[in-house]
């Protein structure tokens, strides 16, 4: 039996590279006295990330929310956008912020992604795009969404904030859609402290995005359309360059930890997992479990927190409950009350995972479980 730790176990925490490596980059910044405005480290990071990910046109921006907002603006979307109610609030707020109307389509209860079978029901003459989230890094049904988009002449944006390292059919998940966006926030498995990325396979669209992230500047005293301040700094790029050296290790450790959870939960029939879409190389960014009902989830949260363990209800509540939108998606409403993400981070210890799983397994050991 392992003793409960004195130090709190968070649901996640940032990866920190060796401080000496980061300091070396900072020394260079101090020597150059160049800290922002598309500096050499930002450019180097974009090149190295494209090489690592198998993408071509990454534009590094200040955060994942700005990435979504620029994506909507760059595609000149005005009107209704089909989207998912099961995502982080930024997915919806970015649509509203850009003056568009989110139209929610319910999710598939197994993959937790937008249900493509329901998308056409939400399309009207005012629909201009689909903005779908690869939930917890699990790819949406990309072929089905593309078929619908082509049929109705719609743009496709993917919120791929959880997807670093994910591939679908041998391609980076970021290569799909008119634009894919991601987050490099400190809580992600790969981070630049704060940051985000915009990906497109269209060179002209990439150029448009580059202008937009820098106020539309096109040389001294010149502007090429409307823009915003979406730039990122040399200091953030330095962290990203350091962390790139460890990303393979991070991906490997996340997978190992997830498989340990799977093994320790193998006889627990009161929780189930998200079903990963076919033809996917997954990144194990999160470890979400789905309970039979909200009561069991709440009881579990209380039980874990009394032992210094902090899981997270993620995503909760469903986005149709936001005060500034309208929507009714019963599957998402039901699922959002039952999903809990367990601790998962680079240096999570096996002993800590045993403590977490024992607390769940013992409570539900003798009760009957649920099925699909």
Q: Which residues pair with 317 in a beta bridge?
A: none
With tokens 């999160």, the residue in question is: 286
Q: Is residue 138 pLDDT above 50, yes or no?
A: yes
Q: What is the pTM of this model?
A: 0.95
Q: Find the mean pLDDT for residues 110-138.
A: 98
- Topology of domain 19-106+114-244, per CATH? 3.40.640
Helices (DSSP H) in the chain: which residue ranges? 19-32, 40-53, 64-74, 89-97, 142-152, 203-212, 234-244, 247-264, 294-306, 330-336, 350-363
State the Cα–Cα distance between residues 147 and 11, nearest whole angstrom.
37
Can you give the pLDDT at residue 364? 64
State the Cα–Cα distance between residues 272 and 211, nearest whole angstrom.
45
Q: 370: pLDDT confidence band, cut at 50, 70 and 90?
A: very low
Residue 95 tokens read as: 């649509």
Q: Is residue 4 pLDDT above 80, yes or no?
A: no
Q: What Å distances lie between residue 211 and 44, 283, 287, CA to CA?
A: 19, 32, 38
Instruction: State pLDDT tens for residues 78-120.
Output: 999 999 999 999 999 999 999 999 999 999 999 999 999 999 9
Q: Is residue 372 pLDDT above 70, yes or no?
A: no
Q: Find the mean pLDDT for residues 289-309.
A: 95
State the Cα–Cα distance between residues 164 and 119, nearest whole angstrom.
26
Q: Find the mean pLDDT for residues 310-333.
A: 97
Q: 113, 134 in Cβ contact below 8 A?
A: yes
Can you give the pLDDT at residue 154? 98
Q: Which residues pair with 179 in a beta bridge?
A: 157
Q: 371: pLDDT confidence band, cut at 50, 70 and 90?
A: very low
CB neighbour class for 78 (10 Å; exposed up to 12, middle 13-18, buried from 19): middle
Q: 221: pLDDT confidence band, cut at 50, 70 and 90?
A: confident
Can you give the pLDDT at residue 57? 96
Instruction: State pLDDT tens for residues 34-45.
Output: 999 999 999 999
Q: Find the mean pLDDT for residues 306-324.
A: 96
Can you give the pLDDT at residue 362? 82
Q: Which residue has the higher pLDDT, 1 or 298?
A: 298
State the Cα–Cα distance between residues 133 and 162, nearest whole angstrom.
9
The C-alpha angle with vertex 16 and arms to 67 and 160, in degrees rounded to 5, equals 25
Q: Name the residue among 308, 306, 304 with its Cα closest to residue 291.
A: 304
Instruction: State pLDDT tens for residues 48-77.
Output: 999 999 999 999 999 999 999 999 999 999
Can you give the pLDDT at residue 7? 72
Residue 328 tokens read as: 């009714």
Among 1.10.357.10, 3.40.50.970, 3.40.50.12160, 3.90.1150.10, name the CATH number for the domain at 247-363. 3.90.1150.10
Q: Find the mean pLDDT for residues 136-156.
A: 98
Q: Which residues of 342-351 are buried (b: 16+ CB within 10 A; e: fewer)?
A: bbbbbebeee
| CB hemisphere CA count around 124 (13 angstroms) | 11
State the Cα–Cα distance between residues 9 and 122, nearest whole angstrom.
42
Q: Find the mean pLDDT for residues 217-225.
A: 91
Q: pLDDT above 70 covers what percent of the chain?
A: 96
Q: Name the residue among 209, 259, 219 with its Cα closest to residue 76.
A: 209
Q: Residue ranges of the domains in the chain?
A: 19-106+114-244, 247-363
Q: State the DSSP H helix or E strand holding residue 159, giving kind and residue range, or none if neither.
A: strand 155-159
Can you give the pLDDT at residue 365? 56
């Amino acid at each position: 039996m392992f003793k409960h730790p004195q130090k709190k176990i968070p649901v996640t925490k940032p990866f920190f590279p060796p401080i000496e490596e980061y300091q070396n980059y900072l020394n260079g910044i101090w020597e150059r006295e160049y800290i922002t405005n598309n500096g050499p480290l930002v450019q180097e990071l974009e090149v190295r990330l494209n090489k690592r990910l198998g993408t071509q046109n990454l534009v590094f921006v200040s955060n994942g929310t700005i990435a979504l907002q620029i994506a909507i603006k760059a595609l000149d979307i005005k009107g209704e956008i089909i989207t998912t109610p099961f995502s982080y609030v930024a997915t919806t707020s970015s649509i509203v912020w850009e003056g568009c109307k989110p139209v929610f389509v319910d999710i598939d209860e197994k993959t937790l992604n937008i249900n493509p079978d329901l998308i056409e029901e939400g399309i009207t003459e005012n629909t201009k795009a689909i903005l779908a989230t690869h939930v917890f890094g699990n790819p949406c049904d990309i072929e089905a969404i593309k078929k619908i988009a082509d049929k109705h002449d719609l743009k496709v944006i993917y919120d791929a904030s959880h997807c670093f390292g994910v591939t679908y059919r041998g391609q980076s998940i970021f290569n799909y859609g008119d634009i894919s966006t991601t987050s490099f926030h400190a809580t992600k498995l790969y981070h630049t402290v704060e940051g985000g990325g915009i990906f497109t396979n269209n060179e002209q669209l990439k150029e448009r995005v580059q202008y937009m992230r820098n106020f539309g500047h096109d040389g001294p005293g010149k502007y090429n359309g409307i823009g915003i301040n979406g730039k990122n700094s040399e200091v953030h790029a330095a962290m990203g360059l350091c962390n790139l050296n460890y990303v393979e290790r991070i991906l490997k450790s996340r997978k190992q930890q997830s498989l340990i959870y799977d093994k320790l939960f193998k006889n627990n029939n009161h929780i189930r997992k998200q079903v990963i879409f076919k033809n996917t190389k997954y990144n194990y960014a999160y470890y979400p479990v789905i309970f039979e009902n909200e009561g069991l989830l709440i009881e579990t949260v209380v039980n874990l927190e009394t032992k210094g363990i902090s899981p997270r209800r993620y995503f909760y509540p469903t986005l149709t409950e936001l005060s500034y939108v309208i929507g009714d998606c019963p599957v998402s409403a039901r699922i959002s009350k039952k999903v809990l993400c367990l601790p998962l981070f680079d240096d999570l210890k096996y002993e800590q995972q045993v403590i977490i799983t024992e607390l769940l397994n013992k409570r539900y050991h003798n009760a009957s479980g649920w099925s699909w």
